[in-house]
Amino acid sequence: MKSLMSERLKSELAERNIKPIELARLSNINKANISKYLSGKNQARGVTLLRLGEALNINAMWLVDENAPKHIISQELNDEIKDISEEYIIC
């Protein structure tokens, strides 16, 4: 059974050349559960979903919500980017 989460998780691992065992280590989630998430047998929720997001440095909600952004930019970083952009426009 394919799920959005399993597809996106597989995609991220392939893109970053990370093996499931490495994701297990990075996220502190056991390998058996990682395998279940990748196969679509189980869906990560709550703290486990957050751990996956942190391990991959992505928005955890992106794994389960097709409308969620992959990355979240903090307002502080967004303001800094805006300031830098304005400096280049002025120059």
User: Which residues are within 8 A (CB) of 90 and not within 5 positions of it... i.e. 6 or more apart?
Assistant: none
Q: What is the pLDDT of residue 73?
A: 73
Structure token pair of residue 67: 């409308």
Digit-by-digit pLDDT tens for the chain (91 residues) are 579 999 999 999 999 999 999 999 999 999 999 999 999 999 999 999 999 999 999 999 999 999 999 988 766 665 666 666 566 555 4
**What pTM was computed for the model?**
0.79
d(CA 1, CA 91): 54
Structure token pair of residue 89: 């426009």
Q: What is the pLDDT of residue 82?
A: 64
